[in-house]
Amino acid sequence: MASLVIDIGNSYTKAAVFEGNELLKVEYYQKPDLKQFNELIAGRDIGKAIISSVKKDKANWQDELSTRVPTVNFTRDMAVGINNHYRTPQTLGIDRLVAVMGARCLYPDAANLVIDAGTCITYDYVDAYGNYYGGSISPGLQMRFKAMHNYTSALPLVNADENFDSPFGYDTETAMRSGVQNGLIYEITGFIQSYAANSPAMNMILTGGDGIFFDTLLKNSIFAPYIKNEPYLVLKGLNAAIQQHND
Binding-site sequence positions? 7-14, 86, 93-96, 116, 119, 172
Q: Which residues are annotated as a binding site for ATP?
A: 7-14, 119
Under 8 Å between Cβ of 127 and 111: yes
Query: What is the three-class DSSP state of 23?
Result: strand
Q: Which residues are annotated as a binding site for K(+)?
A: 116
Instruction: Give CA angle at 92 (88, 96), nearest 5°.
Output: 150
57 a catalytic residue: no
DSSP calls for 178-240:
IIIIIHHHHHHHHHHHHHHTT-TT-EEEEESTTHHHHHHHTTTSTTGGGEEE-TTHHHHHHHH
Which residues neighbour 246 within 8 Å (Cβ) at sequence distance 6 or greater?
none
Q: From the candidates 33, 45, 63, 95, which is the catalytic residue?
A: 95
Q: Which residues are annotated as a binding site for substrate?
A: 86, 93-96, 172
Q: Which residues are catalytic?
A: 95
